[in-house]
Amino acid sequence: MGSTFGHLFRITTFGESHGGGVGVVIDGCPPQVEISAEEIQFELDRRRPGQSKISTPRKETDTCEILSGVLNGVTLGTPIAILVRNKDHRSQDYGDMQVKYRPSHADATYDAKYGIRAVAGGGRSSARETIGRVAAGAIAKKILKEIAGVEVLCYVKRIKDLEAEIDDTAVTLEQIESNIVRCPNSEMADRMIDRIEQARDEGDSLGGVVECVARSVPLGLGEPVFDKLEADLAKAVMSLPASKGFEIGSGFAGTLLTGSEHNDAFYMDGDRVRTVTNRSGGIQGGISNGENIVIRAAFKPTATIRKEQQTVSKDGEDTTLSAKGRHDPCVLPRAVPMVEAMVALVLCDHLLRQRAQCGETWKE
Amino acid sequence: MGSTFGHLFRITTFGESHGGGVGVVIDGCPPQVEISAEEIQFELDRRRPGQSKISTPRKETDTCEILSGVLNGVTLGTPIAILVRNKDHRSQDYGDMQVKYRPSHADATYDAKYGIRAVAGGGRSSARETIGRVAAGAIAKKILKEIAGVEVLCYVKRIKDLEAEIDDTAVTLEQIESNIVRCPNSEMADRMIDRIEQARDEGDSLGGVVECVARSVPLGLGEPVFDKLEADLAKAVMSLPASKGFEIGSGFAGTLLTGSEHNDAFYMDGDRVRTVTNRSGGIQGGISNGENIVIRAAFKPTATIRKEQQTVSKDGEDTTLSAKGRHDPCVLPRAVPMVEAMVALVLCDHLLRQRAQCGETWKE
Amino acid sequence: MGSTFGHLFRITTFGESHGGGVGVVIDGCPPQVEISAEEIQFELDRRRPGQSKISTPRKETDTCEILSGVLNGVTLGTPIAILVRNKDHRSQDYGDMQVKYRPSHADATYDAKYGIRAVAGGGRSSARETIGRVAAGAIAKKILKEIAGVEVLCYVKRIKDLEAEIDDTAVTLEQIESNIVRCPNSEMADRMIDRIEQARDEGDSLGGVVECVARSVPLGLGEPVFDKLEADLAKAVMSLPASKGFEIGSGFAGTLLTGSEHNDAFYMDGDRVRTVTNRSGGIQGGISNGENIVIRAAFKPTATIRKEQQTVSKDGEDTTLSAKGRHDPCVLPRAVPMVEAMVALVLCDHLLRQRAQCGETWKE
Amino acid sequence: MGSTFGHLFRITTFGESHGGGVGVVIDGCPPQVEISAEEIQFELDRRRPGQSKISTPRKETDTCEILSGVLNGVTLGTPIAILVRNKDHRSQDYGDMQVKYRPSHADATYDAKYGIRAVAGGGRSSARETIGRVAAGAIAKKILKEIAGVEVLCYVKRIKDLEAEIDDTAVTLEQIESNIVRCPNSEMADRMIDRIEQARDEGDSLGGVVECVARSVPLGLGEPVFDKLEADLAKAVMSLPASKGFEIGSGFAGTLLTGSEHNDAFYMDGDRVRTVTNRSGGIQGGISNGENIVIRAAFKPTATIRKEQQTVSKDGEDTTLSAKGRHDPCVLPRAVPMVEAMVALVLCDHLLRQRAQCGETWKE
């Protein structure tokens, strides 16, 4: 019971990796927003497996169908249900994993919690579940752009120790999509790709850091004291598979500065209050301050690897496992649209919440 | 509209730094749990200002009153309301801050969002709001201990670049409380205290990292896919004032390892499935695996400092500010009980959620 | 934004009468419950149009597909998504209703609220939306029966002024399903059927009262003070199309008695506390007392009728309307499985909530 | 765990009849609304015991204190906490009720659910709990009036079989408050008062019907399909102590009409779509249509009476009880401000929800 996210722009995902399909129901979407299956499919294609030589070779088209809530390309204000069918998979690849728990994967804990588990493809713990999130995120991004002019962009900042310098104020979607690792620094991107291929060839995997910037965010989003904007962003990101850490603005590195070094000085830019630096990451006191929102998420190296590992069987026997199947040697390129979707969902939800309580019409 | 936290063990805090008082209502607490005002006061005393030479010299006793939900020291199963009165403060210290925005503080964003703000003491954005959280956390800790034998402990891991080695499997409350900075490594604690005093004397401030360990956590807590245990922990911690980052287990550092280095190998410990290492931080697939839960939170250096800073006034004029008043040169010693409370609240909520859906009585 | 119902056993419905389909996502269902598509289809068949001469002649098979959450006939504890495809309807019947508002229908208010509306078949305001509720209710009933031995039964108590005497302690599903009006008093059922046919032939419609009994309900369900069991039942029933009133136990008639006449005297039945009468309807202080829960719901006569009525057009012109299309002359026979579903959903949700806060394991 | 009501304008009540006090926390109140303790006290005085010869002779002033969320008479947008202290009661009146269950009261079910109960004064099941609701309702009414010009009025429509004719389009607060039974038909009010006094003298009690009208409600409030406006109103009213039934517009009586008799014909009133009659009670398809919202609530005769009744003791012995203490012979006069508060809370919540999803600024 935790498949719903958001308070006013609220999504509920469903689906296992195998079975009828995966999808999402979006409740609370404003009416009269233009949205097409193509716009959703664009994001799903960025997320799907088999998209490049450094992702899993599994081929899935992940074609979406809008079941409800949209008529003639326009939202009705009613729930939008989106379905992506699962393909008929042969399950033999999972034979070994049916009885042996993959280290650092969800196999053992799902068995412990529910006493039952859809083994094939990871069931509900499969990254396939994020299809619903990415589809909903496409709609959230459309609303953010149309209503408020907000732009949300994610990219790979670091693979293992290969870190790219990226100017979050200038980066574009075109730069991000210009290479298969989704790092908008092309020289570093090449090195990252090499490193991922090397890990794959060794039957191993890599992790890294995704960075996300949201630009032109309106002032005033965020609901202290628990639903502070960064708190909801943290939850959103940490609910993604393989995430191990979250930071905003200066993050962990900011703790190495003193207050006088760290504080973002205010200045007037015309009649707008702005900050000289942005160590706050665009949020102060849990509320957006109009500067760019900048967050980072740590993703661990993929748990499922070909290298032999020590583990136990479902029956409680010590054993070893060399994972078969086709797995991503590094989740980060495909995590980029996932983080983007989650950030967009949080911002869209808070845009509606801000309208409700503090909308302009309360006081003229 | 964001002052409620939790789904089944649900708290709602209220109160500004000035005004009648601050407090909390806890809804969903099981009946027949023994709880005394003293147990709550113990935690509030760890949180209160003026407790040591390295915290703000403001003196507040923060005495709590249980208004409802407890009869003769036993919970009724009805809402527990706890109130801590505010003292009558002289407001003159805030004269300057009434018109000038403190850099990296919530002053400007509250004005932008609500168009009105309780200036004295920071209003709702004051850390005084966390009194309600800490009081509720005391009850959550009691339930966790009584029902499930869970122990939650936090401590200061790092002040600026002074990092302590701490064995999370062995650390005790006594060690943590043995010094005023709440770092259970006494030699490093002395150095941290010196460093904080130095910053205070310079009119500056410091940040750092708090670590939290939860031991003897039952298997199976956490509700994928959005209410994964680490996602709710991240939100809990990132809703605290001054927090800038969150990580679980190996966190950001874990991204520097390969999968074969990072994975936690399974082995059988009698009939219990355990892991050799704990880079997962006690949670796999969003669900507790029975190992220690280990998280870390980054807290920035206190925003309010005596050193002169560039800022703007409420009226849109560029100016400078040297903050008066009595502020903590470093929030971490007082953040320890706050993080502890938030972690306990999340675990208690998920303990109830686990009982509801997957409780033993479903299947014999 | 109101398509989710329930707190722990939580359903979200989606779908318009035309478009891809309608359905439901159920989150929070306990794992390891046996459930088959046939059990769900059984309830959908009781709800579907075209089932008898007194329902709409529209033919729809309403075949359900379980998309997720169930593997080999057993629930996984993950979200259960159920889809019923819409048929390809010709829309010409709706030509007139596209421009003219049906009196006492949702046409005008949907236009006013959303500024857009799926006209064909009533869109989201169509009773077709209740397919998702009935499908979820089938699972709720299964859980109630398996876990707690609870039985939920609804039947038609009154059509216009034709009221049947029915013994709620003895009525069976077989009796209810023995005739097409679902009134377990066969003599009165015949008269009701005649009356409905007469209304249909006159281009008119009828309303009435559905009664629901839940037997063997455990003691202790209900969460004062707002989520009292009767409060959640009232919301559940009043969210159904065409409902105009709700009562529990003695209801409105009970207000004609004095306290000494109305109170349910207690007595000991072995070691069980029972009541001599049941004017409380099985709930006291918002909490089930172990007696039968008995509620009644008023359904107005169908708004869409063939008889000519005064109305206005979408463009603001006074006009008249004789509704074409195939509509139920009386919703009550098909409302029976809907009320049953809603009552089952509320009871199932509260069964989980009771386990969470007051489950046996808290105190031995 | 059910002490919170509302989605965006959200209240949480706390408190037992004895103990520190009762009150409410209101989260989501818009900022910059003028509100004074006097306005809240005005409503509490309408609710308090001892206000007239036909209410309980218990004297309680029920003086409220605003603890937070309001500064200099203006709301801050932060949680508003309101506290009413309990008086120090002597508990001897409850001696007998400590061991004997009052028929049709919450004594037995609270014991069964929680295994513990605050006996004195009824604990949490006391009508004293509604103080928090009425205080919050006062603020909701202020917002409704200021922002949207909405007026909410309740009155006694019927006591036992004494029913008053009241024109809901014209009734005023002055008429309602002109007599102690709160029936705006003064002749009938006198008869009602006599009847209540007679019942009290006989050690008995009476029930009846409260009607509520909300005028000038904006078009478009209500969130299908579950949070339809009448569904939330039903839940609100059915959560009040002693309520047994709810109806909107034509209600149960409407089921005696045919569709052609029952439908509300539309006509153009200038450029506004209006209805000739109002059997819909101001809501169609779950959404307000701009006509007066009219609902009715049935309240049973007070359960606690002086007349001897058959009951059982906590220890499982058959016995009899003559309730001591000072109880209302009829709850309806004091239920009037309670229903008014609950209706106002629902409307205020939906006003915010409507702004969030369908606010004007979405589409110009």
- Supply the pLDDT for residue B364: 41
Q: Is the pLDDT of residue A364 over 50?
A: no
- The answer to the question of whether D125 is labelled as a binding residue is yes
Q: Is the pLDDT of residue A238 over 80?
A: yes
Q: What is the mean pLDDT of chain D?
A: 94
Calpha distance C52→C59 (Å, rounded): 10
> Which chain A residue has its CA at the smallest distance from C84's CA?
A67
- Supply the pLDDT for residue B57: 79
To the nearest whole angstrom, how far is the Cα of C355 from the nearest Cα of chain B? Answer: 5
pLDDT tens-digit profile of C288-319? 999 999 999 999 999 999 999 999 999 999 99
Q: Is the pLDDT of residue A339 over 60?
A: yes
- Interface check B115 vs D, CB under 8 A: yes
- Interface check B364 vs C, CB under 8 A: no
- Supply the pLDDT for residue A89: 61
Calpha distance D208→A239 (Å, rounded): 52
- Supply the pLDDT for residue A362: 52
Helix C130-143 with C37-47: angle, nearest 10 deg: 130
A26 closest CA partner among A103, A150, A107, A133: A133
- Interface check B137 vs D, CB under 8 A: no
- Interface check A115 vs C, CB under 8 A: yes
C293 closest CA partner among C246, C241, C352: C246
Splitting chain B (364 residues) into consecutive groups of 10 residues, what average pLDDT does each group show? 97 95 98 96 94 84 96 97 85 71 95 91 91 98 95 98 97 98 98 98 97 97 98 98 98 98 98 97 98 98 96 95 88 98 98 90 48
- The answer to the question of whether B77 is labelled as a binding residue is no
pLDDT tens-digit profile of C253-293? 999 999 999 999 999 999 999 999 999 999 999 999 999 99
Determine contact, residues D302/D205, Cβ cutoff 8 Å.
yes
- Supply the pLDDT for residue B112: 94
C113 vs A contacts (CB less than 8 Å): 77
> Which chain D residue has its CA at the smallest distance from A147's CA?
D362
DSSP helix/strand/coil, C310:
strand
pLDDT tens-digit profile of C185-200? 999 999 999 999 999 9
Contact B286 A251 (CB under 8 A): no
CB pairs under 8 A between A and D: 60
Q: Which chains touch B (3 or more CB pairs under 8 A)?
A: A, C, D
- Supply the pLDDT for residue D120: 82
CB pairs under 8 A between B and C: 60
Q: Is the pLDDT of residue C331 over 60?
A: yes
User: In which band, very low, low, confident or very high, does the pLDDT at C88 lie, cut at 50, 70 and 90?
Assistant: low
- Interface check C230 vs D, CB under 8 A: yes
- Interface check B176 vs C, CB under 8 A: no
- The predicted model gives D124-128 an average pLDDT of 93
- Supply the pLDDT for residue D364: 41
Contact D2 C225 (CB under 8 A): yes
Determine contact, residues D60/D15, Cβ cutoff 8 Å.
no
Largest distance between two CA atoms of chain D: 70
To the nearest whole angstrom, how far is the Cα of C174 from the nearest Cα of chain A? Answer: 34
Kindly provide the b/e burial profile for residues B131-141, where b requires at least 16 CB atoms within 10 angstroms of the residue's own CB. Answer: bbbbbbbbbbb
- The answer to the question of whether A304 is labelled as a binding residue is yes
- The predicted model gives D138-160 an average pLDDT of 97
Contact D68 B16 (CB under 8 A): yes
A68 vs D contacts (CB less than 8 Å): none
> Which chain B residue has its CA at the smallest distance from A354's CA?
B113
Determine contact, residues A280/A272, Cβ cutoff 8 Å.
no
| Sequence-ordered list of residues with C-beta below 8 angstroms from that of B115, at least 6 positions apart, any chain | A358, A363, D31, D32
- Supply the pLDDT for residue B94: 62
Q: Which two tokens stand for residue B51?
A: 């407790």
Q: Is the dihedral of CA A235, A236, A242, A245 positive or negative?
A: negative
Calpha distance B298→B208 (Å, rounded): 6
Q: Which two tokens stand for residue A29?
A: 């979407």
To the nearest whole angstrom, how far is the Cα of A251 from the nearest Cα of chain B? Answer: 5
Choose the mutation target among B68, B111, B126, B352 for the interface with D, i.e. most D CBs under 10 Å.
B68
pLDDT tens-digit profile of A164-208? 999 999 999 999 999 999 999 999 999 999 999 999 999 999 999
Q: Of D1, D31, D80, which has the smallest distance from its Cβ to B116's Cβ?
A: D31
- C contact residues 52-81, partner A, Cβ 8 Å cutoff: 65-69, 71, 74, 76-81
- The answer to the question of whether D355 is labelled as a binding residue is no
- Interface check C27 vs A, CB under 8 A: yes
Could you give the domains of chain C? Answer: 4-362 (3.60.150.10)
- Supply the pLDDT for residue A98: 78
- The answer to the question of whether B301 is labelled as a binding residue is yes
ipTM surpassing 0.90: yes
Q: Of D30, D353, D361, which has the smallest distance from its Cβ to A358's Cβ?
A: D30
pLDDT tens-digit profile of A254-308? 999 999 999 999 999 999 999 999 999 999 999 999 999 999 999 999 999 999 9
- Interface check D352 vs A, CB under 8 A: yes
| Three-state helix/strand/coil letters over B157-224 | EEECCEECCCCCCCCCHHHHHCCCCCCCCHHHHHHHHHHHHHHHHCCCCECEEEEEEEECCCCCCCEC
Q: Of D224, D247, D271, which has the smallest distance from its Cβ to C245's Cβ?
A: D247
Q: Of C78, C358, C362, which has the smallest distance from its Cβ to B147's Cβ?
A: C362
Q: Is the pLDDT of residue C364 over 50?
A: no
- The predicted model gives C81-97 an average pLDDT of 76
- The predicted model gives D190-209 an average pLDDT of 97
Contact B353 C353 (CB under 8 A): no
